[in-house]
Amino acid sequence: MRFKTLAALNRAEPLYLPLGGLPREILMTRYAMKRAFAINELVRSIHGESFEWYGYTIAEKRKPELIVDLGLPENDLNRMDYTALDPLGIAAYQESLEGEKVINGWIHSHGSLDHRSFSATDEANSITMLDYVFSFLKVPVAKREILIKDLTFLVEGGYGEADLVEGSVSIIADSPVKRARILETVHGGFCYCVVIGDDGWHTQEIVTKERGVLSGQSEVTKRGASLVLLDTGQILTADVMEALGREIREKIKPVSYDSPRLEKA
């Protein structure tokens, strides 16, 4: 016994039911932002020159949309003219975080360069970061209908081999089905991307990904976003600055050779 519902399932527009949204602005504590510009200042004072560096934006897992701190990994892929992110390096740093801290994006400095936008290399780094963050911070954001041409409904115990040959997809039910809609869960995730400069400027964008669990259909989008600073009362004490200086001496070192490639916008 077989039922076809082609007319019902060949709608022009698939049903899309939003379940929740992704961030449309970047929330960051003033402490985290001051820490970023403090790194710029310390790089210049310690090494006597300004150059690019990168770090990770850190959040609490219970509130992943708020940047509460910055993580400074060893900048072993830092170069005079560009900086690169490594998935293994991101994973290693995530494992080193204590408690419920998670990486939710990345931040880097263009130093003294007056290049106030994301370069092609930056964009590639943002996708690398998005892929990693999406893997453990994705959430259901929608139910999306999957339109299947030539879908067939079969009843358990009431079909033969010839019935299985027909149709592109077959659903076997325990009772006759005349009409149905197939809705897949769409997972969404985001990554914050922030670039700063020695002169105090900053530019930021949010990169997002949505992916269907059945279709595997993925969509990546990026857009500029406003930065909202929240005052938590936390300050950069002398002890914090001293510890940050030690980190910079250990993890951000000047480059003594010219890079074979330039970062281009």
pLDDT per residue rounded down to tens, the chain (265 residues)? 444 554 544 556 899 999 989 999 999 999 999 999 999 999 999 999 888 899 999 999 999 999 999 999 998 655 555 667 889 999 999 999 988 999 999 999 998 888 888 888 899 999 999 999 999 899 999 999 999 888 999 999 999 999 999 989 999 999 998 888 999 999 999 999 999 999 999 999 999 999 999 999 999 999 999 999 999 999 999 999 999 999 999 999 876 544 444 344 3
Q: How many CB atoms lie within 10 A of CB 8?
A: 12
C-alpha to C-alpha distance for 265 and 258, rounded to whole angstroms? 19
CATH number of 24-138+191-210+219-251: 3.40.140.10
pTM of the model: 0.83
C-alpha span between 54 and 33 (Å, rounded): 14
The C-alpha angle 37, 41, 47, rounded to 5 degrees, equals: 140
**Could you state, in order of their start, the residue ranges of all structural domains in the chain?**
24-138+191-210+219-251
